[in-house]
Structure formats: C-alpha cells, structure tokens
Structure 1
Amino acid sequence: MRKCGTGLLAIVLTLMIALTGCSPSADGGKIKLRIVTMFGGTDPAKKTYDQALKDFMKAHPDVEIVDESMTATGDDFRTKVKTDFASGNEPDVTFFFTGAEAEPIVQSGAVIPYDELFAKDKAWGDAFSENVKTQMKAKDDKIYAVPVTGFYEGLFVNKSLFEKYNLELPTDWDKFNKAVEIFAENGIVPIAGSLEESYYLIEHFILSAGGPAGHNSKFDNGIHPTWAQGLEQIKEVYDKGGFPKDALTMKDAQAQELFKNKQAAMIVNGSWILGGLTDKEDVEVLPFPVLPGGKANPKDLVAGYTSGFYLSKKSHEDKDKKGLALELIKYLTSKDMIKKFAEANGGVPAVDVTVDSLPTVAKNGHKMVQEASSLSLPIDAQISAEAFNEIRKGIPYIVQGKKTIQDVLSAAQKIEQEKTKK
C-alpha cells in the first residue's frame, strides 16, 4: 500500500492525489497483511495463534493483520482458499494443506518456494529436519509450505468406560469387536464417528485392510482390492450399531463432543483432538487394530506433516509490504512458536524442541509415532480432493445399501483419472 503524508496544506495534498493517485489512509497508512488459516472455530491452537498475531503487530506497529481464519472441518475452508487463489485474490499468508489438495495452488504460480529463502536464513531453514522437508515437498521437489506441527491419528478410548464394563482395551480386532458389541448393548456409543465427514474412518479401515502398500496405492494400478475390504468393514460395524444413531448426518465436531462427554467409548481421530478434551488422563491412544485378513502391521500409522504456511508471490514482491509477510511466517514457524503450538494442540513439533507439561496420552502418542512400523499420509493428501470426497460422500450410501462399494470407488477412480490428465 502506498503511504501518503498527512498534515499538508490542502492544495499540496490535492496535487499529490492528482499526480500519484494516492489518498490519505484512514488507518494511518498501516501495511495490511491478510492471512487465512485453519486456526479458527474450536481449533485447540486458536488462542495461541490469536496471541501470536497480537504480539507480531505489537512488535511491528506499522502492520495491521486481517485474519480470516476458519475451522478446517468440512468443505467451507477448502472452498474459500481455492476460490481465493482461482480468482487472483490470494492472501498474503495462507496456512493450508500440502499434497494433492495443494496442487492447484502450487501450479497457479501464486506462491513461492522456500528453498532459496531457507538457504538465505540458515538458522531458520536448518531448524527443520530433512525428514520433515522431504514430506513437505511438492511434485516439483520444491517446498512451498512451512509446517508447524505434525500429527498422528489413531483410536482414542475412554479408559473408564472400558473399566466399567470389564473390557480390555481394543489392541486387536477381537477386543475391538467385543467392545463394539458390549457398548452397543448397554446404550453407550461404541465409536463416535461421523459417516458424513468420515475422513479418519476411511483411511484407518483401508490401512488396516491393505497395510501401507494398499493404503498408499492411490489409483495408480486401478482400484486396490483392499480398499473395498476396508469399506466393507465400515458397513459391518455400522450394522452392529457401532456408530451414533445420527452418524449419517452428524459432523465431526459433534462426534468429538460425544467422546469428550464420555457418551462414546472410542473415536478414530487425530492428535488435535487432545486440545479439546477436559479429562485427558482418562484417555488412551492406540494404533487402529488390524481387521480379519488385513495386511497391516499392528504398528502402522497414519501420521506426518500435511499442512503449512504458504507465501504469496505477489505480496513478497510488493515493495510497499517490505517483506513483512515472510517475517510473519518466520515468526509463526520459529522454534518458540512451534513449541507453543505443540503444547496447545498436542501435535508433533516440526522442529527439535521439548514440549513441556504434556498429558500422558500425548506423550504416548509421540511414543506411538516413534515406534511405528510405517507412517502413511492420509489418503486425501495423496489423491485429489474431488476423488476423495466422492468416496467420503458415498459412505452413507454404502452403509445403507443404497450404493455398492465398487460403484463408489469406480466413480472416485474416474474423477482421479480426469484430474491427473489435466
């Protein structure tokens, strides 16, 4: 934004406006930085993020941050970000997913890679390990997103409910299956799961069926048979009363509330759920059990780094913005801030810091990642959002018998093939 002098004689000011097209700014000529992130709604790191923006503006009094953050649950956030970029209205800073979902953003040329910026600021760039950087690379082998925390997913359980009904924790399928039956018989929701927003259920049942090879097969060689096997098990659990009665229309946030309030014994979700739990000491996290005939190792996990801060090329090259968008990203991804984010959301920090005061379940989650036999990125980070949503939106039809699994997967495969041709 061009800044103009104030307190000048009216005639001089009028001449300046005429000659430069510049007008006095009602906000005192502050540099506006627009940012869009997932740290909105009920996100456990929202308070940490909000305070970080205040602190940055206090340290940079010439900056005004316009924050348009939203919750990432559902489609609204993804739609907003993609629409902004498609219309040339990209924010100065965007916190978004990586992988297949980010390809349109990367291919737009509207964001710049960090490789050279890391090289110029080695203290900042070297704080991220090569493993982290490798997972953040786009198809062109460049890094366009800087992560804050990674995540792990798994089966979270309310231990007190298992104790009440004399059940062993669901470390294998038999124990899991028995727990589903006993809780359903006693009016306790076995698994707090949204079948309308079924991201986590899909990837865990498929990983359990096919192991990493099946889970990560995408549609490279047709439809991997273990995908149908995994989705069939979702239907079987549904038929046993394993999900809430309104699971077909329930949102993930509502499912989390059921688990939080101990109205449900289990939930398949990610490490971010810990921030919203009030009784963390009663919660344990386990790898999702291997279903009958499944090819997974009992310690296979869905985990990794799948989101980060993107820097607008237009903003970075705008001399009037003085490189402050990059400075904001560096601040939000500094060691101190990453530690604070990890403390808030229970995620795995993207840099080497010690996270203090973690509850036992979070420590066990980090240990689970360290001991994992494999780490797979979520399926929706590996195929296009459109193809994955075809599967996700098909789950309610599958469990009700209104669509066949093969029809749903074939439709998703067709969408993926069309996307990869472009």
Structure 2
Amino acid sequence: MKKKTVTLFLSVLILLATILAGCGSDTSNGADKEKENGNDVVTLRMMGYNPESTRATYLKYLDEKLPNVEIEFEFVALDNFNNVLNSQLQAGEGPDLIEVGGEAKLLAKANYLLDLTDEEFTSKYVESGLKPYMVDGKVYASPLQSWFEGIFYNKAIFKENNVEVPKTWDEFIEISKQLTKNGVKPQIMGAQSWEPMMKQSIGLVNNEFYSDEANRNFDEKFNAGEAKLAEEWLPYVEEWARVIDEGIITEDMLGLSYDQALDQFATGKAAMWESGPWAVETILEKNPDIELGMFPIPGKTEGDGWLIGGPGSALAINAKSQHIEEALKVLELTATEEAQKALVADNAGSSFLEGVEVDLGEIYTDSEAAFKAGNVYAPWTAVWTSGNPIVEAYGKSLQEVLAGVKTIENALKEADSVNDNLRKTLN
C-alpha cells in the first residue's frame, strides 16, 4: 500500500523493456486449422481481462455468424494481464485478438498491434471511441462498449432517511452527514484497492476542470510535460478530499476489498457505493429485493454531474498473427448494430458505433442527463500516453492520504513524477 513511486517506476521500466525487446521478433503465433463438415475452421485465440461471462452473448453471436472461425477465449485477470500478454508477445506466442485498454498506445509503439487505419469498419465509430487507441493518427484497435462508474445507492435507505439524490457536492456531503447522524454508514469503499478513491476524485475534476472549455487541451499538454496535475487539479481534488476530512471515507476502509465493500452495500450496511454495471448481477444475487439506483458524481454547482468512464476496452489484432484475415472479419462483424447490442447484453454500456442507442434500464435513470450531455470521461484511458502507471501511482498515494501520511498535493506530485519519468524513457 505504501510502495514508493520509484518502485512503481522501476517495474514500469521493466515492462517497457520487455515490450521493446520483442519489437524485432519475427516469430509468429496462431492455431492450426481444423476440419469440420468439410470446411476449414480457423481457431483464433482471444485474450481478455474481462471474464467470458461478460462477453457470452457477443461470443455466441460471433460463433453463429462466422461458422468457419472458432474463438478460443482466454481470460487473464487484470492484475496479471500485462505480464502474461507481454511474455507471450515477446516469445512470439501471443493471442490473435487482444483486449486492450490503457496499455494500447505502448503496445502499438512497440509494433505489436496491427494498423487498422485503412479498414473500412473503423470509419463506423465516433472519434471519441477511437481516440484512446490511436498513435500518430493511426488506429490500432476497435472499441467495444463503454465503461462507466457512478455512485450506486439504496433507494429504500434514502427514503427511510428522507434524503434525496444530491445535485451538488455540498449536498452529497450533507446527506452523508445526515445518514451518519441517523446511524447509517453513508458510503462504503473497498480502499484496499488504489482504484476507487482515484476514480471518485477524478469525478470531481471532471465536473470542475474538464467541463471548462479553457482546459480542453490540458491532456495533450500533460502528455508533453507542459502541464502538471499538482498545479491544475489541486483545488478540485482537495474539494473531493472533504469526504476524508468529514469522516465519510474512513481509514478502516483501507482494509476492505472490492468484494467486501460490495457485500456491505448489497446487504444494506451502507447507503452508497461507487462501482459500475458489472457489479449489478452480484448485488442482485446477494439481495434480490434491493431498490438499486445510480447517480453521477455531482459538482460544486448544480448540473448534470459526471460519470467516470469512456471506451472500456477494445479489440486489437496481433501484428504477428497467422490468421489476420479471419481476425479482421471478427472486427468487421463487431462493427454492426447486432454485435454491439450483444456486447452490452452481458456488460451494460453505451456503444461508440454511429447511430446505435442502448437502453440501460431503470437503475441508471438518475444518470440519464449525464449520459445525454456526454459527461463520461476518464483521462488516463482517453488520452494519456502512460495512463495506467500514472493513475496507479496517484491512487496508491491517495491511500496514504487516507492513512494520514501524505497530502493531496503529494499525491498529485507523485503522479506528475511518473508521467515525467515515463515520457523521458519513451522519448
């Protein structure tokens, strides 16, 4: 929890060295063709960090529409995904289709991903869906459905305590105090992970900083080392930190895992919990009678609020695949309305395919205005070149803020330092 930034930085350097070492490899991967009913069946290996259950309808759709292609899905948990993937790519044994997120730009720069720029299907997606997977104007992955996080709340607890969905950050603080006064834990957080505080704090940054047109180019300047989080984000993250100062998020939550926090929320031991649609099935399994809703993170002034999210992940093709033609067929089929609806059937989100609209359901009614306004953003996946290492350093520093050994300014400076060091390394 209290690892120094230098440790994180060294591990990232090792990861980069592993990636770059494989750039010159001319070995190739791929599965042998099989015979089925007299037709050639090509097996494509797809590696993903989202479980197969979140892709079940989509994979079934691919199976029905591409009878001569068999998808062999390989799930690798996110905390070990990059290590496994990079080892395989370096050995020339990587999967044909790769689920990519914040590491896409690094993989593309290392020449591991196929350039998709001239493929007709890429033109069917809106620019915001492609941008996280572009390097020097070239497209290296095809976006799947969006991901988003807001604040789940127990409607029954809100009603019993006469509190309403907050429209401002002050209201959020006040209803939290009211719930505490009534003997109800206002918000639970699995702060054993560095992610939830990182995401929730950036939700307030979205409201107060990214909503300002004057800051539109900040992320590009940040990539270039011309802007600093500690200088630009500080007042907004300090405003978010009132949840720590007011005892809404407490130090004991550093001992809670994601699953433990989910359980406390689902069983009515807390009124609010931040997460995304992937948690709904488990919540309902634990408590089928829960009255579940989600509202966006509010800002200092009343508005539509913001959700954390954006392109959730994408599918890229291993540049060394022996079955590029068949892999391209998968991405071409994915760029259809039917495939997009199959994707969201098991993992709620919006589509980046032009003209496709998705009804997310009653749980997300309180977030509809935010969706319509396009108030869904996560800068580390959308634009930042070295996004994942930066937010990991930031999130781990916030854990130390909660423990009382660092300041918000320290946390932002740690993230700036990782960005500077990685930029110099890549250059």
TM-score, length basis structure 1: 0.76
State how far apart, in whole Å, the 2-side matches of 1:116 and 1:391 are: 37
Displacement of 1:311: 0.8
* 2:169 paired residue among 166, 173, 181: 173
> Is 1:36 paired with 2:40?
no
Match of 1:328 in 2: 330
Q: What do you get for the CA RMSD once the two structures are aligned? A: 3.3
> Is 1:398 paired with 2:401?
yes
Displacement of 1:398: 0.7
Displacement of 1:308: 0.7
* 1:150 paired residue among 129, 134, 146: 146
**Deviations 1:337-375, CA, capped at 9 Å, x for gaps:** 21122232220022233546x422345545431134x54
Match of 2:135 in 1: 139
State how far apart, in whole Å, the 1-side matches of 2:147 and 2:108 are: 23
SS in 2 for 1:403: coil
Q: Which moved more, 1:104-113 or 1:219-228?
A: 219-228
Q: Contact between 2:45 and 2:73, CA under 8 Å: does it hold in 1?
A: yes
SS in 2 for 1:90: coil
Q: How does 1:170-249 map to 2 (within 5 A)?
A: 170-195=166-191, 196=193, 197-198=195-196, 199-212=198-211, 217=219, 218=222, 220-225=226-231, 227-243=233-249, 246-249=252-255
Q: How does 1:7-406 map to 2 (within 5 A)?
A: 31-40=42-51, 45-52=54-61, 55=64, 59-60=67-68, 63-72=69-78, 75-98=79-102, 101-118=103-120, 124-133=121-130, 135-195=131-191, 196=193, 197-198=195-196, 199-212=198-211, 217=219, 218=222, 220-225=226-231, 227-243=233-249, 246-278=252-284, 282-291=291-300, 298-315=304-321, 318=322, 321=323, 323-351=325-353, 352-355=355-358, 358-362=360-364, 365-372=367-374, 374-379=375-380, 381-383=382-384, 384=386, 385-406=388-409
State how far apart, in whole Å, the 1-side matches of 2:241 and 2:347 are: 31
- Aligned-partner residue type, residue 185 of structure 2: V
State how far apart, in whole Å, the 1-side matches of 2:357 and 2:228 are: 44
Distance 1:30 1:346, change over 3 A: closer
Displacement of 1:386: 1.7
Distance 1:30 1:380, change over 3 A: closer
Displacement of 1:414: 1.6
**Deviations 1:200-249, CA, capped at 9 Å, x for gaps:** 22321333453445695546323344533344345432343423774213
State how far apart, in whole Å, the 1-side matches of 2:331 and 2:262 are: 30
- Aligned-partner residue type, residue 309 of structure 1: L
Higher relative contact order (CA 8 A, sep 6+): 2
Match of 2:411 in 1: 408
Q: Which moved more, 1:208-217 or 1:406-415?
A: 208-217
State how far apart, in whole Å, the 1-side matches of 2:75 and 2:143 are: 17
Q: Contact between 1:272 and 1:347, CA under 8 Å: does it hold in 2?
A: no
- Aligned-partner residue type, residue 418 of structure 1: N
SS in 1 for 2:271: strand
TM-score, length basis structure 2: 0.75
Displacement of 1:305: 1.8
- Aligned-partner residue type, residue 341 of structure 1: L
Distance 1:157 1:82, change over 3 A: farther
State how far apart, in whole Å, the 1-side matches of 2:344 and 2:41 are: 31
SS in 2 for 1:289: coil
Distance 1:398 1:354, change over 3 A: closer
State how far apart, in whole Å, the 1-side matches of 2:73 and 2:372 are: 35
Kindly, what percent of the aligned residue pairs are identical? 21
Distance 1:246 1:399, change over 3 A: closer
Match of 1:11 in 2: none
State how far apart, in whole Å, the 2-side matches of 1:245 and 1:419 are: 31
- Aligned-partner residue type, residue 76 of structure 2: M
State how far apart, in whole Å, the 2-side matches of 1:365 and 1:71 are: 29
Contiguous gaps of at least 5 residues in structure 1: 1-24, 119-123
State how far apart, in whole Å, the 2-side matches of 1:272 and 1:310 are: 22
**Deviations 1:279-298, CA, capped at 9 Å, x for gaps:** 6983333231224xx8x965
**Aligned residues between the structures:** 374
Distance 1:261 1:417, change over 3 A: same
- Aligned-partner residue type, residue 113 of structure 2: V
Q: Which moved more, 1:144-153 or 1:85-94?
A: 85-94
SS in 2 for 1:323: helix
Q: Contact between 2:350 and 2:357, CA under 8 Å: does it hold in 1?
A: no
- Aligned-partner residue type, residue 77 of structure 1: F
SS in 2 for 1:348: coil
State how far apart, in whole Å, the 1-side matches of 2:63 and 2:263 are: 30
**Deviations 1:88-147, CA, capped at 9 Å, x for gaps:** 44311011115xx322111111111222122xxxxx4454235544x3451311211111
Displacement of 1:76: 2.3
State how far apart, in whole Å, the 2-side matches of 1:418 and 1:345 are: 36
